């Protein structure tokens, strides 16, 4: 069997999808996470290597400015944008840091307007955003994105006016932000939270040249909404941006995962610009986890340690005979590895395999049966975790299957 037997079956996308990673902005807003300047620069380098084409970063505190300097000095093949609020001081800060482009984030829902600026009219609020956008794009000459915070709860008539106004002011891209994760990927879901409907309406009723989707995962729909936006943009836009974070880190339940969007685009939609780059996904996850203090869940899709781990008898028997039985693609494709573990559900097949692996010779049935009985006894006493390699070796030494350790 070959990977081509299962993937690359869909028609190629007619729009170019650019990953716009916000790990170093939204990602590190997750409580308890942080990344020092040198680590941030290394993360940016790793993201560039896997095919990310744009990232956004903070630039307010001195460590953020230092990180931005280190990132920009690397002259990476991807674009680097400074994340800004709709205030001119933020634009000035971005210019001083050396950014060539910015993203200006501002709410578009009345919920936010009434809570944050009850003393201002909606027109006054919009006028300020337009002024700052024009300052960034026309006065400072920056490539400018505008992020419509809480787009999936916005009144469309106002949002349409907002998008057209910032487009006239010089914005080249509008980010649809599903800020509280209530977006729906269903093609029949109406606005404001129907993602395909919103994408199509922006194209039909506004002047903005390009769109971006930024999806939060409060309902577990971040990946679905991101892919739905890309699908809806296909054939409508020359390009579409997907705002993601590696490992899905971020505020509350986090964001759409960079690695999931990328692998879906590559395998399921045949976006071949990621070919030859996905093998760095696991290493990137490990570094980001260590650098930020995030513990990568072992069962995390694609990059988790247990992503290709097999323990139950049925699964291990299948994988030992043919990995395709319980693996959707080779672990090497994403830089991961197959792990065959011994635990409560393990059968004779995996235990025989592990003995052969450790001793270099195939055991007879009696030897395997003896090992099975000892392992059953361990789990009968209440153990839950899989046996570590050293623990399994200890079982084999007890049964004289392996020689006693010499202390090394």
Predicted confidence at residue 406, as pLDDT, reads: 55
Dihedral of alpha carbons 328, 261, 21, 15, sign: positive
Predicted confidence at residue 155, as pLDDT, reads: 98
What are the phi and psi torsion angles at 105 (to 5°)? -100, 130
Q: What are the residue ranges spanned by the domains of the chain?
A: 3-292, 309-398
Query: Which residues, at least 6 apart from 3, have a Cβ–Cβ distance to it below 8 Å?
Result: 267, 329, 330, 333
Q: Which residue in 317, 335, 334 sits closest to 326, CA to CA?
A: 317
Query: Is the bond preceding 79 in cis, omega lying within 30 degrees of 0?
Result: no
- The predicted model scores a pTM of 0.93
Give the 3-state secondary structure of residue 77. coil
Plot region of 123 (φ>0 → left; ψ -120 to 50 → alpha; else → beta): alpha
Predicted confidence at residue 408, as pLDDT, reads: 47
pLDDT digits 0-9 by tens, 349-372? 889 898 998 899 999 998 999 998
Q: What is the pLDDT along the chain (408 residues), one digit of tens a residue?
A: 899 999 999 999 999 999 999 999 999 999 999 999 999 999 999 999 999 999 999 999 999 999 999 999 999 999 999 999 999 999 999 999 999 999 999 999 999 999 999 999 999 999 999 999 999 999 999 999 999 999 999 999 999 999 999 999 999 999 999 999 999 999 999 999 999 999 999 999 999 999 999 999 999 999 999 999 999 999 999 999 999 999 999 999 999 999 999 999 999 999 999 999 999 999 999 999 999 999 999 999 999 999 999 888 888 889 988 999 999 999 999 999 998 889 888 888 889 898 998 899 999 998 999 998 899 999 998 888 889 889 899 989 988 888 876 554
Q: How many residues does the chain have?
A: 408
Bridge partner list, 257: 245
Instruction: Name the CATH architecture for the domain at 3-292.
Output: Alpha-Beta Barrel (3.20)
pLDDT digits 0-9 by tens, 327-343? 999 999 999 999 888 98
Predicted confidence at residue 84, as pLDDT, reads: 98
- For 309-398, CATH gives 4.10.430.20
């Amino acid at each position: 069997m070959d990977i081509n037997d299962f993937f690359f079956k869909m028609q190629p996308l007619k729009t170019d999808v650019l990953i716009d990673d916000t790990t170093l902005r939204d990602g590190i807003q997750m409580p308890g996470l942080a990344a020092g300047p040198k680590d941030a620069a290394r993360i940016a380098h790793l993201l560039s290597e896997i095919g990310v084409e744009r990232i956004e970063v903070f630039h307010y505190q001195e460590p953020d400015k230092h990180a931005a300097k280190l990132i920009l000095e690397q002259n990476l093949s991807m674009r680097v944008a400074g994340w800004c609020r709709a205030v001119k001081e933020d634009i000035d800060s971005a210019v001083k840091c050396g950014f060539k482009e910015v993203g200006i984030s501002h709410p578009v829902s009345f919920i936010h307007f009434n809570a944050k600026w009850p003393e201002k009219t909606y027109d006054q609020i919009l006028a300020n955003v337009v002024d700052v956008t024009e300052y960034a794009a026309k006065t400072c000459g920056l490539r400018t994105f505008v992020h419509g915070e809480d787009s999936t709860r916005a009144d469309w008539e106002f949002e349409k006016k907002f998008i057209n106004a910032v487009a006239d002011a010089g914005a080249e891209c509008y980010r649809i932000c599903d800020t509280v994760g209530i977006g729906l990927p269903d093609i029949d879901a109406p606005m404001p939270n129907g993602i395909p409907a919103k994408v199509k309406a922006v194209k039909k009723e506004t002047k903005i040249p390009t769109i971006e989707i930024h999806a939060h995962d409060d309902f577990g729909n971040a990946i679905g909404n991101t892919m739905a936006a890309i699908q809806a943009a296909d054939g409508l836009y020359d390009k579409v941006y997907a705002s993601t974070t590696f490992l899905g880190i971020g505020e509350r339940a986090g964001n759409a995962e960079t690695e999931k969007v990328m692998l879906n685009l590559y395998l399921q939609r045949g976006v071949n610009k990621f070919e030859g780059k996905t093998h760095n996904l696991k290493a990137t996850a490990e570094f980001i986890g260590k650098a930020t203090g995030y513990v990568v869940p072992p069962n995390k899709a694609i990059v988790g340690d247990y992503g290709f781990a097999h323990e139950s008898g049925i699964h291990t028997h299948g994988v030992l005979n043919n990995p395709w039985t319980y693996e959707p693609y080779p672990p090497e494709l994403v830089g991961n590895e197959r792990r065959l573990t011994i635990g409560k559900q393990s059968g004779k097949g995996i235990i025989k395999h592990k003995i052969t692996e450790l001793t270099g010779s195939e055991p007879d049935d009696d030897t395997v049966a003896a090992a099975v009985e000892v392992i059953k006894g361990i789990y009968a006493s209440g153990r839950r975790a899989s046996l570590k390699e050293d623990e399994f070796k200890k079982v084999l030494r007890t049964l004289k299957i392996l020689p006693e350790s010499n202390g090394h």
